[in-house]
Structure 1
Amino acid sequence: MDGFELKYGFPPGDNQALLVEDGQRAVAALTDSSPVATDLVTFYRSIHEVVLADVGNGYWIDSVDGVLVMLAEYGPVHVGEDLDGLVIGSDGGGWSYVVATDGTVWRTQTATWDEHDLDLVADDLRLLLELLEHSVTRFIATGEPGFV
Structure 2
Amino acid sequence: MLATDDSHQATDALVDLTPIPSDLTTLYWVISEASLADVDNGYFIHSPATVAEHFREYGPAPIDDESVALVFASDGGGHLFAIGDSGQVRKSTTASWFDDFEVAASSLQEFLEQLGRRIANQP
Q: Smaller-chain TM-score range?
A: over 0.9
Structure with a larger share of its residues in strand:
1
* d(CA) in 2 for partners of 1:47, 1:81: 28
Identify the structure with bigger relative contact order (alpha carbons < 8 Å, sequence gap 6+): 2
Identity %: 37
How many residues are matched? 122
For structure 2, which runs of at least 5 residues remain unmatched after alignment?
Answer: none
Q: Could you say which residue in structure 1 is the equivalent of 2:110? A: 127
What aligned pairs does 1:109-120 form with structure 2 within 5 A after superposition? 109-115=93-99, 117-120=100-103
Matched, 1:27 2:11: yes
Bigger Rg, structure 1 or 2: 1
**What's the Cα RMSD here?**
1.3
Which amino acid counterpart does residue 109 of structure 2 have in structure 1?
R
- Aligned equivalents of 1:76 and 1:35: distance in 2? 11
1:31 to 1:128, Cα distance in 2 relative to 1, 3 A? same
| One of 56, 60, 75 as aligned partner of 1:91 | 75
Q: Structure 1: which 5+ residue stretches go unaligned?
A: 1-17, 141-148
Q: 1:20-99, aligned counterparts within 5 Å?
A: 20-22=3-5, 24-99=8-83
Q: TM-score, normalised by structure 1?
A: 0.77
